[in-house]
Each structure stands twice: as C-alpha cells, then as structure tokens.
A and B are shown apart, each in its own frame.
Chain A
Amino acid sequence: MSLSWSNIRTIYNREINNYFNTPIGYVFLIIFSLFINFLFLYLPNFWDVNSASMENFFSWMRIVYMFLIPAITMRLWAEEKKTGTIEVIFTMPYQTAETILGKYLSALSFLGFALCSTIFIPISIGTISSPDWMLIIGGYLGLTLLGAAYIAMGLFISWFTQDQIIAFLITIAACFLFFIMGYPSFLQLMGILGPLMAYASVSWHYDSLARGMFDTRDIFYFLTFIGIFMYMNYFAIENKK
C-alpha cells in the first residue's frame, strides 16, 4: 500500500481550514492562550516563587490537555458521520490511511498553533533570568508527544459516534485513565500489575521528558501509542465497510 502525500495534503488542507473557516478556531486559540498564561502567572503566583522555571506551566498543561485535546479531536469523524460527508470522503479515490493521516496531521498542527501561543512564556523568562533551557525544550517535547498521543486516541474515539459531545466526554475519560495509571495511589490498587500499568501510562513518560531527561524509550513509547491507535482507527473503518 503506497500512500499519496498529495492526497494526505488535500485532506489536511480541508481539515485545517475547517478549524479556521469559522471564528471558533480563532476564539478557541485566544481563550486558550489567555487561560494558560493566567494559570502560569497566578496559580501559584509566578512572581512569589522567585524561580525562573516553567515546571508550574508543564504541570498545569497535563491537566489542560485532558480538555484541550478532546475539544480538538471530537469533531474529526463524528461531524463527518452526522452530516453524511463521510460518504463524500470515502467514495473519492482516497486510501483509508490517507484520510486518517490527513485528519491526524491537521489536529496536530492545530495543537502546534496552541502551543506556539504559549511561546512568550519561555521568551519572557529568558529575558528576565537564565532558565535551564534543556528543561524547557524537554517539557515542550513532552507536551508535543503527549498531545500527539492523545490526538491519535481522540481521533480513534471520534470514529465510534455521530455525537461530538459524546466523543468529547469519552476522550476526556480515556485521557484521564491513561494519565492516572501512572500515579502511586492507582498503582497500589493494581498489585503485581503496577509496574506494567506505570509503564503503559502517559504520565510516567511525560514526567520523565518534562524533567529534561531525553530517554529514547519514552519517545518510543509515545510513537508506539500513536501507531496503535492509528492502526485501530484504520481497522475500525475498514471493518465498518
């Protein structure tokens, strides 16, 4: 099966334009930007901490992602199914994998725009002090990989419903589950399965990257996570035909 990048680009353009064809995409990014900057500066108060660190920001983003990513992915398949355009897309000469990749990359790009809107935080810190840039780069890499993993999962979940709200809520629950799996109180409940659950959890790998530790195993984990959900999405679509 050889994929056509031209086809993936066509789907990508259509999807990325969908975010910005209405004011919703812009409003979403502005609110996100204001909200995240407020969290960073005031919870806890950045000026009282007396440290040039973005630890607080990367910590908050883990929680924000649980709502941000489902909001980005909820419509990807659900809207197509509800409006019937799924018939348009699947009766044109696209391979299933091309449609999945086009949609996935568009959602990833939108997340990229959202992350870019936070860039003034490290720039501001850099101008007033000397932060550990490796920690900041590691944190952003972690955020990118965490977002990429959640998007693959959200895209997969969106396939199973016509209702965007249901897709949103189920994706929140799934993000929460994969996140909580790495926490000690949860692991204690799992008994001997604890270490396995810890390794399967996204928080375990994200926290490692956010601490500035570039471990290829963490990157491999996220890439595997993405691959599994993309393949399951492909399988679910083919199975429905």
Chain B
Amino acid sequence: MIKVESISKSFNSIEAVKDISFHIQKGEIVGLLGPNGAGKTTTMRMMTGFYKPDSGSIQIGGLDILKDRLEIQKKTGYLPENSALYADMLVCDYLYFIACSYQLDQSTIQKNMDYAVTATALEKYFYRPVAQLSKGYKQRVGIAATLIHDPAILILDEPTSGLDPNQIAEIQRLIKLLAQSKTIILSTHILKEVENTCQRAIIISEGKIVMDEPLSNVHALKKGGYKTHLTLAGQISGISEILEREFREKVQENFLENESRFVLTASEHMGEKIFQCAKSNNWPLKELYTEKESLENIFKDLTGGQQ
C-alpha cells in the first residue's frame, strides 16, 4: 500500500533524512520511533506531500507523491505535530472547512462529520471555539479532521504528545479502534505507545532506519529476551555458580546488607524453573519475578542512548 524507496531530504547543509526505505501493507499499524530530531516528522511530511524528497520515491496506493500529490492527499489523513488548528474557529466550522477542502458533497459531509465527531467523542464540544479546548480535546479535533474524508491511511505525528496519562490512554484506545479499518502510521518517542498500539516498529536515528521489525520479533532480537530477578534473605554465596551451571546463562549478583540479589537473563521465561531450583535447594526466597526485556533498552542501544 505504501512504498517508500530511498528517500532523502536536506535542509541547507543538514541531512534530515538519509536514504530511508520501507513498505507498509494495508491494515498495518506502524510506529515510527526515534529520538527528537531523528527525522520522523520530515519523513511523514514527505509522505503527505508537504515536502518533496530530494531523491527517492514515495508511492501510496500505486500513485507517486510527486506526480499525483492531490490524489494521494485525498486518500490520506494527516495529524500534524502539536495538533495545529485554526483557533479562531468553532469546532463545527473547522471540521466543515476541512470537509469542504476535500470537495465532499453536502450529504457526505454531514455523514462523515457525524462519524468523525462520534468516533472522537466531540459531541459536547461541537459548537465550542477551538481556542477554548484543552490540549486533549484539540488533539481529538485534529484526529476528527483526519477522519472527515474517510481516508484509507492515517498519518499521525506524535498524536499523544503533551497529553496527560488519561488523555494518552484515550487517544491510544481511539487509534486502536481506527486501526480496525485503516492503515495507520504514527510517530512517537514514547516507547510504551508503540508497544501498546503498533504491530510493527521502525526505529529512526539520525535520519536513518536502524530497525524495522514486527513487535513480536523485537523482543527476540536480543539474546536475553527475559530477565528473572531473584532475591534471597541474607548474604549467601555460591548461588550464581549454581544458577549458571543449572541454566547455562549469565547471572549478575549484588549483595546488600540483609539480602542477596541475582538477575538471570535468558531468551525464555525462567521464573518457574528458578522457583523449583530455589525450592529444591531450600534457599530463603524473598522475591522472584520475571520481566520482558523492554523496547526501551533496544531503543537505547540502537539510537546510542538518545531520547
């Protein structure tokens, strides 16, 4: 559905995007991840026709962005960063203006406005001035505007930026709902957002793609996909050696005043096996839990620790 081939974009002498390529299939939800200034917004702006790529090509639904910009823009809905809206307008007027911009007929405008307003729960705010809305509701108006012409593709630039945790959860719920019928590309530097909403992550750093994998593969990318934390009462030596011998994995140890802590990193969930080992050796078990290697660690490794 979307083919991005070797696109590059420079501003004066600064290369914002360097030879980026990826393909997105119909119905995918893809997270464009990267630290601030990585090139996510520039990539998205090229996909929406706001910028022209210096080199490379972008095809959406078989159309080329340089030759068929207007047709592509009719098929895509774009939410700019910081939900830029005309603050002097009422919500209803703003959405009507957006609908008219897509040259929809009056009956379609009415139907699509009803859908967009219901999907984003804006009914109570329909006749309010945009300037008086909270950031969360402005973001909703921005998303409603992207839905007004019922596009097949949504491109959302940092849709939860600057929102409080409740608003973030609401927007993420909305994105998941929309994903049932649309192809969605969203950019963010919040890793949890990608884990919560996307099927695939493309990590960009310094204008280049450093990882492009389905999320299900991401955790398996690193050798240690799971970390099991074991805490025993008192200072006990020799535990690490037993664990390393038993499970053939590296163990980190840390001795505190009244307890000993061990972390075993493995590619599979080891919690139950370690519990059985502790039980058979009569270790004074204080705490035992396993956590998945987070996307955050992978992100830090790939982007050199930038956030």
Contacts and interface: CB of A to CB of B under 8 A. Distances in A.
Contact of A91 (B49, B81, B87, B93): B49
Residue among A21, A88, A90, A241 with the highest chain B CB neighbour number at 10 A: A88
A44 interface: no
Nearest to A86: B84
A123 interface: no
A84 interface: yes
Interface string B44-81: 01001111100000000000000001110110101011
A83 B84 contact: yes
B102 A93 contact: yes
Interface in A84-102: 84-88, 90-95
Given A90-B50, A91-B50, A93-B73, A21 B97 contact: no
Contacts of B84: 83-88
Contact of A10 (B48, B76, B101): B101
Contact of B78 (A17, A84, A91): A91
B88 interface: yes
Contact of B89 (A4, A21, A92): A21
A7 interface: yes
Nearest to A9: B100
B73 A92 contact: yes
Contact of B85 (A7, A14, A85, A86): A85
B255 interface: no
B86 interface: yes
Interface in A187-235: none
Nearest to A4: B103
Nearest to A20: B88
Contacts of B78: 87, 91
A88 B84 CA distance: 7
Interface residues of A, number: 23
A200 B17 CA distance: 44
A241 B50 contact: yes
B73 A241 contact: no
Contacts of A84: 80-82, 84
A217 B78 CA distance: 47
A85 B69 CA distance: 19
A91 B60 CA distance: 14
A interface secondary structure, majority: helix
B49 A90 contact: yes
B98 interface: yes
A241 B48 CA distance: 11
A93 B82 CA distance: 21
A109 interface: no
B101 A91 contact: no
A92 B86 contact: no
Nearest to A94: B101
A87 B50 contact: yes
Contact of A92 (B87, B88, B101): B101
B48 A91 contact: yes
Given A10-B100, A84-B82, A21 B48 contact: no
A22 interface: yes
Contacts of A13: 97, 100
Given A6-B103, A7-B103, A91 B88 contact: no
B70 A93 contact: yes
B103 A22 contact: no
Interface string A52-84: 000000000000000000000000000000011
Contacts of B89: 17, 21
A18 interface: yes
A93 B50 contact: no
B80 A88 contact: yes
A18 B88 contact: yes
Contacts of A94: 70, 101
B152 to A, nearest CB: 15
B85 A88 contact: yes
B172 to A, nearest CB: 23
A198 B4 CA distance: 54
Given A10-B97, A85-B86, A91 B80 contact: yes
Interface in B84-111: 84-89, 93, 97-98, 100-103
A50 to B, nearest CB: 48
Nearest to A22: B88
Task: State the 4 A-B residue pairs at the shortest beta-carbon distance, nearest first.
Answer: A84-B84, A87-B80, A21-B88, A93-B70
23 contacts: A10-B97, A10-B101, A13-B97, A14-B86, A84-B84, A85-B84, A87-B45, A88-B84, A88-B86, A88-B145, A90-B49, A90-B50, A91-B73, A91-B78, A92-B73, A93-B70, A93-B73, A93-B74, A93-B102, A93-B103, A94-B70, A94-B101, A241-B52
Interface of B: 45, 48-52, 69-71, 73-74, 76, 78, 80-82, 84-89, 93, 97-98, 100-103, 145
Given A14-B97, A93-B101, 15 more contacts: A4-B103, A7-B101, A13-B100, A18-B86, A86-B84, A87-B50, A87-B80, A88-B85, A88-B98, A91-B73, A91-B76, A92-B101, A93-B102, A241-B50, A241-B52
